[in-house]
Amino acid sequence: MELLVIIALTSILALLTASAVHHGLDEAMRVHCLNNLKEMTRSAHLYASHHQGALPPAYRRDFDTGETKTWESFLWDNAPESPIQQCPVFHGSANWDDEYTGYNYNASFVGGYELIRKGARLANSRPSIRTSMIQNPSECALFGDGEFAKGANKFMRSPYPGPNDTGTTLAQGGTQGYRHRGRTNVGFADGHVASVDQVYPAPGKSSLSSSAYGFLSPDNRLYDLE
């Protein structure tokens, strides 16, 4: 009888230890992810300091060469892809031919887009905003855990269309992934990073299609410049 009790207690202790270790690993990866986002936010501000305060574009498309450069190229000054771009807990599809993936950039309000033809910027391009235009930087998301139904996404979208959004359907592909024990990590324009547990469905929806991804706020308050 005593042996059975000892075996039972040993099994319980083993389970508790395994759970604690697993939780500890999850927490370490959450912090690792936050550090990545902090470094990305720093790099965005460094870019702005060399471009009259303008933050990186979301993308640049050259119609003559067919080349599209996305915000990571500007963030790291065209250097090879950085492992900082990899969220440590994301293992899904990149949806682009990226070695590292898992994060998105506020393309609704912050990062503009440059359309190039014959070496000239087209009139329907949208410039990125300047840091001085952000009225409440502690509540303006720059980068975050990007995820939607089909995997990672590069471009963070606000629930309602922003000035850089060309249609109302873009938002569905620009949600955040709540993959850190029900939380999503965000890097804000003032440089601070945070794990957010509030998740909101798309406008007009009464419930989430999945608790794994959604929006940071029910409206554009954590995306816009106000």
What is the pLDDT at residue 21?
47
pLDDT digits (tens, 9 = 90+) for 21-65: 455 788 999 999 999 999 999 999 999 999 999 999 999 999 999
Identity of residue 135: Q
Higher-pLDDT residue of 97, 220:
220
Beta bridge partners of 113: 59, 126
What is the pLDDT at residue 42?
97
Q: Give dist(CA 86, CA 142) in Å, integer.
A: 16
**226 touches 135 (CB < 8 A):** yes
- Three-class DSSP category at 180: coil
Mean of pLDDT values over 112-132: 96
Identify the CA nearest to 160 among candidates 109, 211, 104: 109
Percent of the chain with pLDDT over 90: 70
Compute the mean pLDDT over every residue in the chain, rounded to the nearest whole number. 89
Give the DSSP per-residue string, 3-36.
HHHHHHHHHHHHHHHHHHHHHHHHHHHHHHHHHH
What is the pLDDT at residue 12?
53
What is the pLDDT at residue 18?
47
pLDDT digits (tens, 9 = 90+) for 151-210: 899 999 999 999 999 877 888 899 999 999 999 999 999 999 999 999 999 888 877 777
pLDDT band at 145 (very low <50, low <70, confident <90, very high): very high
What is the pLDDT at residue 1?
58
